[in-house]
Amino acid sequence: MKNIKAIAAAGLLGAAALGVLPAAAHHATSTFYLEEEIPLENVVVQELIWANPHGVLVVQDADGAFWVGEMAAVVDLARQGLNPDSLPKGRELDLMVLPSRDGSNRVHVQSISADGQTIYGTTD
């Protein structure tokens, strides 16, 4: 009976740990990005990387600078109506992003607009 209680306790502890590990592995955007949104206007898509843990959008601005935008997981991108072909190379976009804390051209994409329409995220 003593062994059964120990095995049951170990099983419960193991199940609890499995539930906590995915949450611990995820991070908040505030760890890497500032909280004030900035616009990146008239940027041109270079590549959309449709992969987990986050989609990545690479764009180029009018000055020739490249920006790497972290997005949501692909399942969440799909829920908002995007797919791997939604943002083809050469498409012009306006983005609202959270800039990187380290000053690099890595950003967190909050919203994407094209042709006056929001196609990803929110505009509030």
- The structural domains of the chain, with segments of one domain joined by +, span 29-121
Q: Single out the residue of 107, 124, 101, 121 nearest to residue 43, CA to CA.
A: 107
29-121: CATH, from 3.40.50.920, 2.40.50.140, 3.30.70.1140, 3.40.50.20: 2.40.50.140
**What's the pLDDT score for residue 26?**
52
Q: How far is the first Cα of the chain from the last one, in angstroms, to the nearest whole number?
A: 60
Given a cut of 90, whether residue 82 has pLDDT beyond it is yes
Segment 31-76, tens digit of pLDDT: 889 999 999 999 999 999 999 999 999 999 999 999 999 999 999 9
Phi and psi, residue 78, nearest 5°:
-65, -40
What CA–CA distance (Å, rounded) separates 104 from 21? Answer: 30
What CA–CA distance (Å, rounded) separates 76 from 61? Answer: 26
Given a cut of 70, whether residue 21 has pLDDT beyond it is no
**Residue 123: pLDDT band by 50, 70, 90 thresholds?**
low
**Residue 30: pLDDT band by 50, 70, 90 thresholds?**
confident
Provide the whole-model pTM: 0.76
